[in-house]
Amino acid sequence: MRVCVFGFICTCLPILYASSLPGILPDGQTLPSLAPMLSKVTPSIVNIATYATVEVRNPLLEDPFFRRFFDLPNTRRRYRRAQSAGSGVIVDAKKGYIITNHHVIHRADEIHVTLGDGRTLSATLVGTDNKVDLAVLKVDAKDLVEIELTDSRKTRVGDFVVAIGNPFGLAQTVTSGIVSALGRSGLGIQGYEDFIQTDASINPGNSGGALVDLRGRLIGINTAIIAPSGGNVGIGFAIPSNMVGAIMQQLIKHGEVRRGNVGLTVQGLNIELAQAFGVDRNRGVVVVEVEEESAAEKANIEAGDIIIGINKHAIEKVVDYHALMAVVVVGDSLRFDYLRDGKENSTDIEISEESAQLFGVRLDPRLAGCRLQNFKSDDDASNAVGILVTDVDHDSMAWEQGLRAGDIIVAVNKRSVGDLREFRQNLKLNSREILLRVYRSGRYGYVVLH
């Protein structure tokens, strides 16, 4: 069976291996191997060990009725030291930047990186983005080896790929397979999903590791698997290198991804909608809603427009649109190609500071885990003007104390706010707690953050 597999690779990929084959059989035939490529790539793959202090919780002891019934005193919170492991990829040898998954280093207060040559280094967190599940670390070391990123848009279903990481703590483990599918989304793994699917074995500990082509170039960062039995079943997912590169630049520059909000809600174009709109195509996305005073509205995009391209990239499905929106940042200029009344049009959409989403932690540590954005609505029943909470991490303090995605913050510390600038100013009025007046589901209420 092995001979058949190697024979197949040899006949299909003679050019890739011709210059790097390590041995010759007695009959003069060359023996194919991935070893030359791996010797170049594996030094750029690192093992990541994280340490965090976590609370040990007992639901029974937290129940007031249970404590009263057994006459138990209020107990102090208990904590323990937790350790976890993952993988990472060196992307800048001179500056010591390493890319990994957000979930690998989430809540870690101590991060150690072990290089392929055995050195163990302390790493600092440069920035993280949980919406795409990426993070950038930095180490201070010499003689690092970086990986080359390639254009993931050129990746095809059926291409041979190799996954490199540290599954179950087994350093420098290599598995191979093919690209099973492209543009996987709707999995509920992350906020923005545009995954490369592969059957190369990916297991716990592989997260943050590299998915490379046969030339050793990075085409994705391994991030998740479907594992109904708890182990690998040949369905793994990687974040495409193009998305990795764009997010990485933002994290290095700003420590966060300063995403811009185009202001559109879209749905896929199907045969029925194409007939209803009188167009002879069924690929694209239909604009369902345009936010007032958004970048899209200023560019005269209207509900019913059919977007077919952005910056010369074809938009055929909703996943294509969301994949591009994942890397749209403040300062970008987007060229939208769309159909209106059967005619093709183009317009430029400028992503300004006003459309930016801001990480709450940049305003105050008690707002860690949420994203905020300026908000104004003329047709809402509340006529609300303030700050829109676009997202809240479920394991953050902001969530535990009652803040939710979709909340509109209209006042901070008993002073009304109309934009993020006023929000920042009002936060300084009370250092002990943050009193937020929010509009949610047609009603006003208060949320206190300690």
Strand extents, DSSP E, 35-132: 45-56, 78-92, 97-100, 110-114, 120-122, 124-129
Q: How far is CA 11 from CA 5, 29, 32, 178, in A?
A: 10, 12, 10, 16
pLDDT band for 125, please (50, 70, 90 cuts). very high
Distance between CA atoms of 114 and 177, rounded to whole angstroms?
A: 26
Average pLDDT of the residues in 169-188 = 82
For the cut 90, the answer to whether the pLDDT of residue 123 exceeds it is yes
The per-residue pLDDT for 74 is 62
| pLDDT tens digits, one per residue of 352-371 | 765 666 777 777 878 888 88
Max avg pLDDT among 8-17, 138-147, 410-419, 439-448: 138-147
Residue 387 Ramachandran class (φ > 0 left, ψ -120 to 50 alpha, else beta): beta
The per-residue pLDDT for 144 is 93
Average pLDDT of the residues in 194-204 = 87
pLDDT band for 426, please (50, 70, 90 cuts). confident
Question: Higher confidence at residue 42 or residue 189?
Answer: 42
Distance between CA atoms of 397 and 287, rounded to whole angstroms?
A: 35
pLDDT band for 336, please (50, 70, 90 cuts). very high
Q: Which of 21, 49, 157 is nearest to 105 (CA)?
A: 49
User: Locate tokens 């058949």: which residue?
Assistant: 4
User: Locate tokens 């509009």: which residue?
Assistant: 439
Q: Which of the residue ranges 68-82, 232-246, 301-315, 386-400 would you say has the lowest mean pLDDT?
A: 68-82
Q: Which domains does the chain have, with CATH numbers?
A: 2-33 (no CATH), 35-54+83-253 (2.40.10.120), 264-354 (2.30.42.10), 357-449 (2.30.42.10)
Q: Which of 257, 236, 235 is nearest to 245 (CA)?
A: 257
Q: Give the active site residues.
A: 103, 133, 207
Please report, as a single letter, which amino acid is at residue 428. K
Q: Which of 366, 410, 409 is nearest to 390 (CA)?
A: 409
Q: Which of the residue ranges 9-13, 67-71, 142-146, 335-339 would you say has the lowest mean pLDDT?
A: 9-13
For the cut 90, the answer to whether the pLDDT of residue 400 exceeds it is no
Question: Higher confidence at residue 221 or residue 61?
Answer: 221
Please report the DSSP string for 172-212 in residue order: TEEEEEEEEEEEE--SSSSSS--EEEE-S---TT-TT-EEE
Distance between CA atoms of 363 and 421, rounded to whole angstroms?
A: 10
Distance between CA atoms of 393 and 367, rounded to whole angstroms?
A: 11
Please report, as a single letter, which amino acid is at residue 36. P
8-state DSSP, 66: H
Residues 254 and 309: beta-carbon distance below 8 Å = no
The per-residue pLDDT for 170 is 75
Q: What sign for the dihedral angle of Cα 407, 412, 417, 421?
A: negative
Residues 392 and 398: beta-carbon distance below 8 Å = yes
Distance between CA atoms of 38 and 219, rounded to whole angstroms?
A: 15
Question: Higher confidence at residue 218 or residue 17?
Answer: 218
Max avg pLDDT among 157-161, 169-173, 294-298, 384-388: 157-161
Residues 444 and 436: beta-carbon distance below 8 Å = no
- Please give the structure tokens belonging to residue 426: 């009002």
Q: Is residue 168 packed enough to be buried (19+ CB in 10 Å), middle (13-18) or exposed (0-12)?
A: exposed
Please report, as a single letter, which amino acid is at residue 35. A
8-state DSSP, 303: T
pLDDT band for 71, please (50, 70, 90 cuts). low
The per-residue pLDDT for 401 is 84
The per-residue pLDDT for 329 is 81
Percent of the chain with pLDDT over 90: 26
Q: Which residues is 252 bridged to in the sheet?
A: none
Residues 387 and 371: beta-carbon distance below 8 Å = no
pLDDT band for 17, please (50, 70, 90 cuts). very low
Percent of the chain with pLDDT over 70: 81
Q: Which helix (H) or strand (E) holds 436?
A: strand 434-440
Give this prediction's pTM.
0.69
Question: Higher confidence at residue 259 or residue 104?
Answer: 104
Max avg pLDDT among 22-31, 121-130, 387-396: 121-130
8-state DSSP, 154: G
CA contacts within 13 A on the Cβ side of 336 = 28
Q: How far is CA 397 from CA 3, 99, 393, in A?
A: 56, 26, 9
The per-residue pLDDT for 405 is 87
Q: Which helix (H) or strand (E) holds 345?
A: strand 343-350
Distance between CA atoms of 67 and 56, rounded to whole angstroms?
A: 17
Q: How far is CA 86 from CA 105, 172, 202, 218, in A?
A: 8, 12, 12, 18
What number of other Cβ atoms are within 10 A of residue 191's Cβ? 15
User: Locate tokens 């300004």: which residue?
Assistant: 352
The length of the chain in residues reads 450
Please report, as a single letter, which amino acid is at residue 98. I
Q: How many Å separate Cα 127 from the centre of its chain? A: 12
Q: Which of 232, 177, 187 is nearest to 207 (CA)?
A: 232
| pLDDT tens digits, one per residue of 221-253 | 998 887 766 666 788 899 999 999 989 998 998
